[in-house]
Homo-oligomer: A and B are copies of this chain.
Amino acid sequence: MEHLKNLDEIVGTVCREMQAHLGHGRVADYIPALAKIDPRHFGIAIAIQPEREAEEVAIFAAGDAEVPFSVQSISKVFTLTMALEKLGGALWKRVGKEPSGSPFNSIVQLENERGIPRNPLINAGALVVTDALLAGGDPAQLIAGILDFIRGLAHDPAVTIDPEVATSEGDTGFRNASLANFLRAFGNIENNIQDVLEVYFHQCALRMNCRQLARAGLYLAHGGVDPGSAARVTSVQRTRRINALMMTCGHYDASGDFAFRVGLSGKSGVGGGILAIAPRRASIAVWSPGLNAWGNSHVGVLALEKLSSLAGWSVF
């Protein structure tokens, strides 16, 4: 098929062009287990709906697409999906839908807005989502449930959680503990704080490669249905809403810039990964550990900008 052959060329082109940019940016160093990664990695994978029902999902990959990395904040997209399935619209009483504007504001906004985080894709919001999922249950069981959910979406039991990353301490740990206590003071964390943090640190420590991640996100490109198994993961409307949130809030304070340059919904993580969704077309995962000033993968954003341009996938 023309367009599939075409995609093979596109991922190859993107991968080749990115080589010149590797090594820029800075690897996240506040989690010791992440600081050791070589910043010159680059991987890309595109998952595409099969042409005919019986066919398999096609995955076009290049570079280090098989090398697992820490997905970190990208996991927020999957726990948000789980929470929406569990709580429905009631979740929006506890978390907003707006971009947060600037990093230093997040905790001010939290105070001004009485403990309601701006959106579920910033740390404060994701802690509330995790708390909503925990709901009095056992942290270990919820961690297992999240892992199962993502293994199912990735169609790969090899997805794991990195215990070293999960127990890494440092600034991030204390900042998240600070946020969780702050939310609790407003009554917007209901479970034991240590339990919520334990789940949260484990979901951030999910270890996936680009192939697995692109495959796991494919339901977001197809109205909530996993095109491989035909299983409905979430409703059409919720899928649109998750994509909208990824567009307006998925790249911290550079969400506007990502929309401007790439024109796709996306969610980045400080491990250097980005999951991007081209609705009705494809789910894309890129990975390169060097981060730009906003904490997003420097080469990852460049690669998606190139890909979106070559494939003509901008939603705008």
Contacts and interface: CB of A to CB of B under 8 A. Distances in A.
Contact of A178 (B104, B105, B108, B181): B181
A156 interface: no
A39 B245 CA distance: 31
A251 B273 CA distance: 30
A314 interface: yes
Given A101-B109, A177-B181, A185-B171, A119 B316 contact: no
A139 to B, nearest CB: 19
A171 B241 CA distance: 33
Contacts of A57: none
A182 B279 CA distance: 39
A248 B315 CA distance: 13
A185 B178 contact: yes
A248 B261 CA distance: 13
A257 B98 contact: yes
Nearest to A182: B178
Given A99-B99, A248-B247, A181 B185 contact: no
Contacts of A315: 279, 315-316
Contact of A175 (B171, B182, B248, B253): B182
Contacts of A119: 256
Given A101-B109, A182-B174, A182-B178, A245 B256 contact: yes
Contacts of A104: 108, 111-112
A181 B316 CA distance: 35
11 contacts: A101-B109, A107-B107, A178-B180, A178-B182, A240-B314, A241-B316, A243-B316, A244-B260, A244-B316, A279-B316, A315-B316
